[in-house]
Amino acid sequence: RLFHQYHKTFAALNFSDYEAISRCEQEVPEYFNFASDVLDKWSQIEKVNRKGRKGPSNPALWWINEKGDETKWSFEELAFLSQKVANVLSGPCGLQRGDRVLVILPRIPEWWLLNVACMRTGVVIIPGTTQLTAQDICYRLLASKAKCIITTDVLAPAVDSVASKCQFLKTKLIVSESSRAEWLNFSDLL
C-alpha cells in the first residue's frame, strides 16, 4: 500500500542495493544531512503540493500533552523552525560543527527541534533522560566535554550545582517560560 506519490524516491533500500553499495556499484553521497537532504526536500514537496489544493497538509510533527493541548507542524514549519533553532545554537550559544551539546528534556516539541537543528549544524547531540541526578549530569558533561547543556527549569538547579566542576561547559540554555540567572532562555532567543 502506498502512502504518498513519491514512494519510489524515498523507498527503503533492499538487500541487493546494500550489496551494490558494498561493491561500489551504487553511488553513496559523501556527505548526508537529514535536515537538508530529507526534511528540506519534504518541505519543498509540500510547497508544490499545497499550490494545487486547499486545506492543511499532513503534519510532520503532531504532539499532544497530557492536558490535550496539541502542536502541529507541517514539514515547511518544522524546517523553518529548525533553521531558527540552528541559528540560536550557532549564534548566542556559540556552537560550531563537532561541538557537543547535552540535551536533557522531556519529549516536548523543542526536543525535536533541537535534534533537527543539531543535525543541520553538525553539532553532536547527547540526549539525556530527565531522571538524571546532578552526579549523572556532571559525569556526562565531563566525559563528553560538552560545551552546552539544554534543559528545563526542573533540572537547572542540578546543573548549577555541578557546573563549576565542568571546565568545558560554556553555555546553559533553558527551555522555560521563566528566566534564570546565568542561563540563556530558549523561547526568548527563538
Q: Is residue 190 part of a domain?
A: no
Is 73 a domain residue?
yes
- Domain membership flag for residue 65: yes
More confident residue, 21 or 73: 73
Has residue 22 been placed in a domain?
A: no
Q: d(Cα 92, Cα 186) in Å, to the nearest integer? A: 10
The answer to whether residue 162 is domain-embedded is yes
Q: What is the pTM of this model?
A: 0.78
Would you say residue 85 lies in a domain? yes
> By C-alpha distance, which of 134, 135, 138, 112 is closest to 125?
112
Q: 153 is in which domain, residue-wise?
A: 34-185
Identify whether 7 is part of a domain: no
Q: How many domains does the chain have?
A: 1
Confidence at residue 46, expressed as pLDDT on a 0 to 100 scale: 79
Strands (E), 40-122: 61-64, 70-73, 100-104
55, part of any domain: yes
| 144, 126 contact by CB (below 8 A) | yes
> pLDDT digits over 109-126, tens only?
999 999 999 999 999 999
CATH number of the domain enclosing 127: 3.40.50.980
For 23, phi and psi rounded to 5 degrees?
A: -90, 5
